[in-house]
Structure 1
C-alpha cells in the first residue's frame, strides 16, 4: 500500500515546489533576443527564485489598450513600457497599484513625483538617417515637414505606439492650430505608418526610408554594438520631445510582492550596470537603462 501511495504524494507535492511565475507585459523590442529582455530575465530569476515570463506587444500604447481590454481578468503582474504621455490615461484606468519605490530614488529631466509609475529609462525622439545615403538631413521639424526635398519618412502609429504618440504631441507643440495642415504635408513624404518601433526601424535598416522616427541615442547603439558610425540623429532647431518610459505593477497581480521586487530590481540592481545608450540617474548615480535604442 505504501508503494502505491508514494507516487500520489509526489504528485500532490509538485505544485508546492513549482516556482512562482511573474508575468510582465512589455513591448517586443524589449523582450526580443537582441533586446535587454533575455539578460533581465536571467539576472532577475537568479535573484528571485521565480520564473519571469514576458508577454510582448507592438508598443506602449498597445500595452495599455490590452490591459484595459482584459481588465480585472488580466494575467499581467507588471507592465513595462508605458511612458510619460500615457500616465494620465493609465492612472484613470485604476488598473495599477502603488509601486512602493520612492520617487526620490530616480531623477529624470523635469523631475519625477509619482508613487505608482517607476521610470526605468528616458530618451529624446529624433529622426535617424544613414549618413552614407543622406548628406543633407533636415535641420528642423518644420524643414522635414515643409521642405521641398522628397524625403521618404517612416514613423509609428500614435494609436498603438509611444513614439508615434510622442510625434503627435511634438507636432502639436511646434504647429499648434496648424498641426492638421502640417500632417497633410508630412503625409506626402510618408512611406508607411507602423504599429510599433521595431517594425519602423527594421524597415529603415532595409532601406525603405531616408528617415525613421527613433531616438537621439540610436546611433550610439550602432557604434557600440555593430562598430558602425554611418547612422546619425537629425538635430532639430525646435528641440526634441522627451520620453520617460515607466513600469508599474497591476492592481490585480497575483504576485504583488514579487512585482514590487521586480520594479526595485529594474531601478536599483540591473539598470545601473547595463546599456549605456540612454541615461537615468539612480540615487544620484548615472545608470544605464534598457529599452529601445
Structure 2
C-alpha cells in the first residue's frame, strides 16, 4: 500500500510538472545575465502566468535574427526579445512573426505604430569615456583626427555595432566612407558583442567604447562612481528602440500574448532603468531613478526609418568592411 501511495503521488507530481506550460524567449546574453533584467522579469511573470518562463541567450542582439533565420519555422522560440528598429523590417520579411495584440501609452521619442513588435526600452548610442579625458572629441571627425583608442562592436552580430554604422551613415551620408577611413586607426578591436567591448574599456584597453548615453547611470547608481560619462556629439546621436515579437508558429500563443502585454506593465518597465540601463518604453509609476537626470541629452536625434534600414545597412556594412581592411 505504501508503494502504491508513493507511486500515485509520484505520478501526480510528474503530471503537474508536465502540464505546466513553458514559454521560451530568445534574447541577448546581457538580458539574462545575473545583473540584467532577466531574473527579475522571470520571477515577476511566473507569479502571474502559472507557467515556466525560459530565457535562451543567443549572443548579442543582431545575432538573434541570424539564429531565427537559420532555424526558420522549426524554431523553439515563442517570443524573440532584443531586436531593434534597424532589424524589424528584416525580421518581418521572414514571415515568422505574428501581429501583436498590445496597445500602450508609450514614452518614446517617436510615434510607434508597428503591428508586429512591442517596444520595451530605448536609448541613444554614444561613446563612453572617463570623465577626466583630456581633449574629448565633440564629433566623429575630431575622434578620427585624435590618437584616442576606441573599442566597437561587430555590426553583423551586435545591435550597437549596427547602430554605429547607421549613426555614421545618417550623420554623414556619402561622406561615411571617409569617416570610417579616418576612424580605422583609432579602433583597437571589434568585438562580437557589447559586453566584451565594455569590459575591455573598463580594463583600460581603450579610451572610449561604443555604448549608450545611459551607461554612466550604471556606474553612478550601482557603484556610486561618477568617473564615467558619455561624449556629446554635435552631429547628434542615433536612437535605438528595442522590441519583442511573437513567433507566428508558437504552440503557446495566448501565453506569448500575455507576456507581450506584461512587457508594458509597471512590473516589467520599472526594472529596465537599473538592470538594462536604458529608458523604459512606458514610464514607470515611480518615474526614472535618481541619477538619470545627470545624463547627457542629445540635441539632435538620428534614426533611419525601419523600412529603409535593410538597404542602408547593406551599403554601410560594405563601406565599413572596406575601410577596416585597407
TM-score, normalised by the number of residues in structure 1:
0.90
CA contact (8 A) 1:120 1:267 kept: yes
What is residue 92 of structure 2 aligned with on the other side? 91
Residue 181 of structure 1 deviates from its aligned partner by 2.5
Matched, 1:42 2:43: yes
Cα distance in 1, alignment partners of residues 21 and 227 from structure 2: 45
Partner of 2:22: 21
Q: Tell me the equivalent position of 1:138.
A: 137
* 1:279-290 equivalent positions in 2, closer than 5 A: 279-282=279-282
Give the stretch that moved more between structures: 272-281 or 247-256.
Answer: 272-281
Aligned-partner SS, 1:35: coil
Other-structure match for 2:311: none
Shift, 1:20, TM fit: 1.4
- Aligned: 1:116 with 2:113: no
Aligned to 1:63: 64
CA RMSD across the alignment? 2.4
Q: Does 1:128 align with 2:128?
A: yes
Alpha-carbon displacement from aligned partner over 1:142-188 (angstroms, at most 9, x marks no partner): 2112x2x2111111111111111111011112221222232122111
Cross-structure match for 1:177: 174
Aligned residues of 1:27 and 1:63 also touching (Cα < 8 A): yes
- C-alpha distance in 2, partners of 1:5/1:208? 63
- 1:279 Cα deviation from its structure 2 partner: 2.6
1:128, distance to aligned residue in structure 2 (A):
0.1
Runs (5+) with no aligned partner, structure 1: none
2:195 match: 198
1:33 aligned onto 2:34:
yes
Change beyond 3 A, Cα 1:41–1:71: same
Cα deviation, residue 275, structure 1: 3.7
How many pairs are equivalent?
286
Separation in 1, partners of 2:116, 2:21: 23
Q: Is the 8 A contact 2:121 2:272 kept in 1?
A: no
Q: Flag the 1:2–1:206 CA change in 2: closer, same or farther, 3 A.
A: closer
| Conserved 8 A contact 2:120-2:282 | no
Query: Which deviations, in whole Å up to 9, do the C-alpha atoms of 1:228-267 show, x marking residues without a partner?
Result: 0000000000110000000111112121111111111111
Q: Distance in 2 between matches of 1:17 and 1:234?
A: 51
Secondary structure of the residue that 1:85 maps to in structure 2?
coil
Determine if contact 2:269/2:283 at 8 Å carries over to the other structure.
no
Q: Residues 155 and 8 from structure 1, CA distance in 2 versus in 1: closer, same or farther, beyond 3 angstroms? A: same
| Structure-1 separation of matches of 2:21 and 2:232 | 47
TM normalised by structure 2 equals: 0.81
Please tell me whether the aligned partners of residues 272 and 287 of structure 1 are also in contact (alpha carbons under 8 angstroms): no
Check whether the contact 1:280–1:287 (CA below 8 A) recurs between aligned residues. no
Structure with greater strand share of residues:
1
Q: What are the residue-to-residue correspondences of 1:211-226 with 2, within 5 Å?
A: 211-226=208-223
Unaligned 5+ segments in structure 2 are 290-294, 296-326
